[in-house]
Structure 1
Amino acid sequence: MPFTPIHMGPGLLIKGLMQSSFSLMIFGWTQIVMDIQPLIVLVTGEGHLHGFSHTYIGATLLAIVSALTGKHLAQFGLWLLDITESIAVNIPWWVVFLSAFIGSFSHVLLDSIMHNDVQPYYPWVLNNPLLELVSVATLHKICLYSGLVGAGIYYFLEWRRENSIKRTQCDK
């Protein structure tokens, strides 16, 4: 995948389906953390492009790191975007960890399908059984369309919730 943004499509779908039980900001932070190792390899020209960070063991460790570092970053980001009234907004830890693990595992899954140097099940399996499960073009379309569907679901449910609140206020 190109760096990080294309991974956000499935994240938008999950956000649309799970609503407040999923943090898109933590998911996005996890995508960035997952791609730090490949970025270092691209900049320095040394190392394995999709190395340990793109295994499920590495993804587990990076999900924990992303959760622990991302919780307060996400809360601060929500405050900066004026999505909450106070900087004391609290994203529950279970939502933080769930979002980080979904982010890291989906990242490995998507990159496993398109990159021949990913070894997702290392050290137990040294090949990549997921490689070319679908074509790269199809994978990009899945990511794009899942993002569009997810955004549609999210905004439809928000619209419905706001109308429900307005009706309740009018009934009083």
Structure 2
Amino acid sequence: MVIKAVAGQRFSMVTFGLAQVAMDIEPLIAALRCAPAQPGYTHNYPVAVLVAFLVAAVAPWVCRLLATRCNRQLWRWNLGRFAQPTQLATKVALGSALAGTLLHVAIDSIMQADMTPLVPLYAGNPLLHLVSPDALHRACIAAGIAGAAAWFLLLIARNRKPTRQR
């Protein structure tokens, strides 16, 4: 949310979210099979970059679909000034997807001992316990709240109806 508040239209929250979900498909499949749901092959930086490219390839289609539906509702509720563009630039999709996948690996690496984020260059986890899990959770929550508030306030400020001058 902080990135969105700062970058505005140069960052896609939908693409960022898709990237986060894509990173956890492998542990989800393991959990559904009643196998241990530990980080697998996707939870390292080289594979995270590949996942980001895949997400960036499908994100424009998903964003167009969601933006079209949301914009239709905004116009119906007389809030059309908040409508968002339906096109997603390639560099915005790729940057947002990379942010999603790389941050996902970084945050998981701090908390999970079984991660090897730098494989094949390094077999260990140099980020493990960089900060405590509680401090990491608090930082993520604080960043989310601050980012959401800033994003909302900036959205309101940019889309304010001009007042009539007498």
What residue number does 2:48 align with? 59
More helix by share: 1
- Runs (4+) of structure 1 exceeding 6 A deviation are none
- Identity of counterpart residues, as a percentage? 31
Cα deviations across residues 84-135 of structure 1 (Å, max 9, x unaligned)? 889x821111100000001100000000000111110001111101001111
Equivalent residue runs for 1:1-150 within 5 Å: 12-46=1-35, 49-82=38-71, 89-150=86-147
Number of paired residues?
158
- How far did residue 76 of structure 1 move? 0.5
- Structure 2 CA distance, aligned partners of 1:25 and 1:151? 14
- Structure 1 CA distance, aligned partners of 2:159 and 2:70? 20
- Structure 1 CA distance, aligned partners of 2:26 and 2:97? 17
TM-score w.r.t. the length of structure 2 is: 0.86
- How far did residue 31 of structure 1 move? 0.5
- Structure 2 CA distance, aligned partners of 1:48 and 1:128? 18
- How far did residue 45 of structure 1 move? 4.3
- Structure 2 CA distance, aligned partners of 1:81 and 1:37? 30
For residue 149 of structure 1, what is the amino acid of its counterpart?
A
> For structure 1, which runs of at least 5 residues remain unmatched after alignment?
1-11
- Structure 2 CA distance, aligned partners of 1:64 and 1:144? 27
For residue 166 of structure 1, what is the amino acid of its counterpart?
P
- How far did residue 161 of structure 1 move? 1.6
- Structure 1 CA distance, aligned partners of 2:42 and 2:145? 28
- Structure 2 CA distance, aligned partners of 1:58 and 1:137? 27
Change (3 A) 1:126 1:27: same
Change (3 A) 1:128 1:48: farther
> For structure 2, which runs of at least 5 residues remain unmatched after alignment?
none
Q: CA RMSD in A?
A: 2.3
TM-score w.r.t. the length of structure 1 is: 0.83
- How far did residue 60 of structure 1 move? 0.6
- How far did residue 46 of structure 1 move? 4.6
